[in-house]
A and B are shown apart, each in its own frame.
Chain A
């Protein structure tokens, strides 16, 4: 069964610094999608960044980038120049190939605190 593990329940980073959130997953599939979602205190989940497993190049969205290590089944999120608005729960998520099923599997989340 596919699983997603986030080993850091909470993290803190100084404003303007860089922080990396870890995620590992388990799957026997070769093609899939990985996501990082942000859930601010208002609770609406927002997609931060997505990675397609067949693409070797790491995805980047402004201050957010990932380090995708397919062989190690690792998918970490780096947030550069952290801002107060980055404070939230961050969920790593796995989406199997559409032909298998279409349900996203989420990790338990990492709560990120930004220190002013």
Chain B
């Protein structure tokens, strides 16, 4: 078990471009979460999946953001037409079936929008 992994670790893009991040949860964790963390703040919830179903989305997740977990394993988070305000660390976490309250975090993807 190698833990939650995220790719890429860093992404620099120009405003208006689309970006996609990937998260691989701990195997057999059925829940997967996305958070956004800006400098000096705690993580803010964006969305979560139970298996392949997206169960909740935050109001922070504008229509430029879309997340998928097509086979209930890895997940992708896409941001279309990026804006400078999207610059942040995007964290992924997963939790096991038995202890759903205990979330294991990945290292994050740091996005910089120029």
Contacts and interface: CB of A to CB of B under 8 A. Distances in A.
Nearest to A101: B56
Nearest to B100: A98
B89 interface: yes
Nearest to B103: A104
B101 interface: yes
Nearest to A91: B42
B interface, size bucket: 20 to 34
B101 A44 contact: no
A78 interface: no
A26 B91 CA distance: 25
Given A43-B89, A45-B91, A101-B56, A106 B105 contact: no
A46 B48 CA distance: 19
Interface of A: 4, 33, 37, 42-47, 50, 91, 93, 95, 98, 101-109
A50 B42 contact: no
Contacts of B31: 102
A98 B101 CA distance: 8
20 contacts: A4-B42, A43-B107, A45-B93, A45-B105, A46-B105, A47-B102, A50-B101, A50-B102, A91-B43, A102-B31, A102-B56, A103-B33, A103-B58, A104-B33, A104-B45, A105-B45, A108-B40, A108-B41, A108-B42, A109-B40
